[in-house]
Structure 1
Amino acid sequence: MIKVKQLAHVCIFAHDLEATRAFYRDVLGLDTQFNFLRDGKVFGFYLNCGGRSHVEVFQKNGTAYSEQNQINHFCLEVENIDAAIIHIKSNGVDVTAKKHACDDTFQAWIRDPNGVKIELFEYTEKSAQFTGGDRIADW
C-alpha cells in the first residue's frame, strides 16, 4: 500500500521565465531552490513553498493558460491572509477579496503572469481539512 506524505510539487509553464520568477519571489515570497540548466542556460527552476513542497517552472514559449484539459489551479497556505492581500495589492497585482468558504477556510485568488490561477488559503480551527464532514458548496 502506498502512503502519500504531501504534495511534492506543481509544475507550470512560463512564457517569460524571469518575469515569472520575479512574481513568485516578490509577490508570494517564494525563493528559488535551484535552477535547471541546459547548454549553460536556465530553462526552469524550483520554487520553495516550505517544508518539502515546491512549484516547478519551465520555459515554454507561446504558452497560454487555459481552463480546459489541465489542472485548474493550485493553492498555497498562508499564515495571515489579510496581510497577504495587502502585500499582493502593494505589488500591483489584482487579488480577490477575502472570502470565508464553505469549508471554513479563508481564501483569496490571484493569477501569475502566465494566467495560472493561484488560491491562497488560511486555515481555521473549524476547517473541514482538519475536522472532516461534508460541506454544502456555496458557489
Structure 2
Amino acid sequence: MLSNIRIGNICYYVNDIDRTEAFYRDVVGLDVQRMEGDEETGDWLLASIENNIELIFFQMESHPGNTPIVVFDLSEGGIDEVVTGLAEKGATIVTPVSHAPGGWSAEFADPDGHVLSVYQPEDRPRSRV
C-alpha cells in the first residue's frame, strides 16, 4: 500500500509563526521561507533539509502529541485509493482527503494514536483508475 513512498515533509503545528521563523532561521540556521497562505491556513513556513525532506510549520494550537506529523509523499497520485485501502485494513482516518497547500492530504492514526499523513501534488491524479 505505502511501499513506493518517501518521507516528503514533517509538519509542525506552532503557536507563534513569527517566533518559529526567527528560531529556525536565526538559531538553527535553516533557510526558512514564508509562504503565503489562504484565509483558512494563513501564512506558513517551509525549510528544506537533507534528502529533499521539507519541514513545514503551520500556526495552529500546538501541544505535545499533536505535532510533528510525518508526511508520506504520494508522487504517483492515487490518494483516494490509498486512504480507502488504509481504512479497509483498520487504520483510523483522522482527516479524510482534503485540499492542502499545492495538493491533497489525509491523516490517519497508528494503533497508539500517532498521526501520520499522506500527501500528493495537485498535478497528480487523485484516482489511479
Asked if Structure 1 and Structure 2 have the same fold, meaning a TM-score greater than 0.5 normalized by the shorter chain, the answer is: no
Structure with the bigger RCO (C-alpha within 8 Å, sep 6+) is 2
Q: TM-score, normalised by structure 2?
A: 0.42
Higher CA-based Rg: 1
Q: TM-score, normalised by structure 1?
A: 0.39
* Higher share in strand: 2
